[in-house]
Structure 1
Amino acid sequence: MYVYYIIALILIVIDQVTKWIVVKNMELYEQITVVKDFFYLTSHRNKGAAWGILEGRMIFFYIITTIVVIGVIYALQKYGKESKLLAISLSFILGGAVGNFIDRIFRGEVVDFLDFNIFGYDYPIFNVADSSLVVGVILVLIGTFLDEKKKGNKGV
């Protein structure tokens, strides 16, 4: 069971180290081209949630993140042994939530730096914690779909 907390911890460390590297080595809004017209490292700060929504509502984020972290740990403890996919999903969600929570507590904003232009769409700048959250949620959805499909096959 501890392996799932180790996965979350590894994601938190990767997230925080990459953010530290960006803060220490790049000026705010500085951009480094990795793949021209596709992928850039751009030093950006976000005082809100995804796409900058709810900017400046730090108390709200503290409360919501605390609730999410408690809920994820509870679900991991209760259901993690039943499903490895769910446990991995929850560890990704936990790592992502804590990674951005650390930024909000110690910086008052979240450090973002992964900047993609996909088929002409300038996707909002994000970070490793955001990626972990997205991967975790996608895995939860896949697991839910597979469980429902399995239940459907048993009912036939």
Structure 2
Amino acid sequence: MKQLIYYIKWFAVFVILVGADQFTKQLAIAGLKGNSGISIIKNVFKLFYLENHGAAFGIFQEQRIPLLIITVLVLIFIGYIFYRVPHETKFIAIKWILVILVAGAVGNMIDRIYNGYVVDFLYFELINFPVFNVADCYVVVGAILAVILIIFYYDDNDLNRILKKQ
């Protein structure tokens, strides 16, 4: 029972994160679709509606089914790793990161399934950075934090405990 409650708590975090992503996308659709965007910091950052029919930076345009298959495979892999991570305080950070990564992947997968495209709306105009969304932020921040933890916090023994059977 204790283990079930443990996983329910993590699932609740996941639901909240996906909910926040989907809520912001609905706000973007309602407030930005059909107009030229809203400048937050003039010539630096704006809210701008875009329908992305591909993946990051617009790659794999119109490749919805392959992107969905890749997402499902990534989710299975992350789920397996999450299950393997020990239930110890030292590993809480990696659990958070895995949940954040999954929330980002699922947030964009929901868009691909229901819309056929991903709703993007955050645009750094100053550097002409590709338009992105909250789920993209989850994936990028999660990936960067994972790399930092793997390089500077977890040692080989910790990683072996996750990846190999004890």
Q: Tell me if both proteins adopt one fold, taking TM over 0.5 as the criterion.
A: yes
Q: What is the aligned partner in structure 2 of residue 122 from structure 1? A: 128
Q: Which 5+ residue runs of structure 2 have no aligned equivalent?
A: 1-5, 159-166
Structure 1 stretches of 4+ moved >6 Å: none
Q: 1:101 aligns with which of 98, 109, 113?
A: 109
Moved more, 68-77 or 80-89: 80-89
Give the TM-score taking structure 2 as reference length.
0.83
1:5 aligns with 2:11: yes
- How far off is 1:77 after superposition? 1.3
Q: 1:88 aligns with which of 90, 93, 96?
A: 96
When the two chains are superposed, the root-mean-square deviation of aligned CA atoms in Å is 1.8
1:17-68 Cα distance to aligned partner (Å, 9 max, x none):
1101111222246310111121100001100011100100111011001111
Aligned residues with identical type, % of pairs:
36
CA contact (8 A) 1:44 1:113 kept: yes
Q: What is the aligned partner in structure 1 of residue 154 from structure 2? A: 147
> SS of the residue aligned with 1:147?
coil
- How far off is 1:150 after superposition? 8.9
Give the TM-score taking structure 1 as reference length.
0.88
- How far off is 1:127 after superposition? 0.2
Count of residues in correspondence between the two structures: 149
> SS of the residue aligned with 1:33?
strand
Moved more, 100-109 or 6-15: 6-15
> SS of the residue aligned with 1:30?
coil
CA contact (8 A) 1:15 1:99 kept: yes
Moved more, 54-63 or 21-30: 21-30
Q: Which 5+ residue runs of structure 1 have no aligned equivalent?
A: 152-156
1:1-156 equivalences under 5 Å are: 1-2=6-7, 3-28=9-34, 30-79=36-85, 81-82=87-88, 83-117=91-125, 120-145=126-151, 146-148=153-155
CA distance in 2, matches of 1:60, 1:47: 12
CA distance in 2, matches of 1:60, 1:52: 14
